[in-house]
Amino acid sequence: MMVSTKGRYALTVMVDLARSSGDGFVSLADIAERENLSMKYLESIISILNKGGMLQSLRGKNGGYRLARDPAEYSVNEILLLTEGTLAPVNCIMQDGVQCEKAATCSTLPLWAGLDKVIESYLSRITLEDIITGNRRKMLGEYCSSCEV
């Protein structure tokens, strides 16, 4: 699994908006400046997030974007799935199930399917709220017992 720049920046934008959730609508220019992101690239990411129902938008002088839900209601998994399409570790495992003609005889398929479930489970547990509050214990959790929390 490789998260693209689009996915990483989408998560960055959502975290920025979560941090600003009490401030009303936030302009793209403000997000771009705070996060040091290209305005043009940010527009394409915001479009995906907005069409995906993750944001509310308002046009006009005091317009901008804000989260459609509470930060605790967004999982990292849903944000990345919206922008990436899939988080599968290999091409033969996609959202619609196994897409391989050799699936019945593939000895490594169970490994990849298991890894896919671990990734989904982990990313589904982490919310925007966890990120903005710095819940390192939850983010590192059981997967990194030797990591400093």
Checking if the pLDDT of 84 tops 80, the result is yes
Amino acid at the residue 94 = M
For residue range 85-117, what is the model confidence (pLDDT) as tens digits? 989 888 888 756 666 788 788 899 889 889 999
Cβ proximity of 19 and 57 under 8 Å: no
Would you state the pLDDT for residue 95?
Answer: 56
Number of H helices, E strands in the chain: 7, 4
Radius of gyration of the chain (CA): 17
Cβ proximity of 87 and 80 under 8 Å: yes
For residue range 3-13, what is the model confidence (pLDDT) as tens digits? 999 999 999 99
Would you state the pLDDT for residue 148?
Answer: 62
Spatial distance between the Cα atoms of 141 and 12, rounded to a whole number of angstroms: 21
> According to CATH, what is the number of the domain 1-149?
1.10.10.10
The pair of three-digit structure tokens given for residue 85, joined into one six-digit string = 């399409």
Spatial distance between the Cα atoms of 52 and 81, rounded to a whole number of angstroms: 10
* Residue 87 phi, psi dihedral angles, 5° rounding: -120, 15
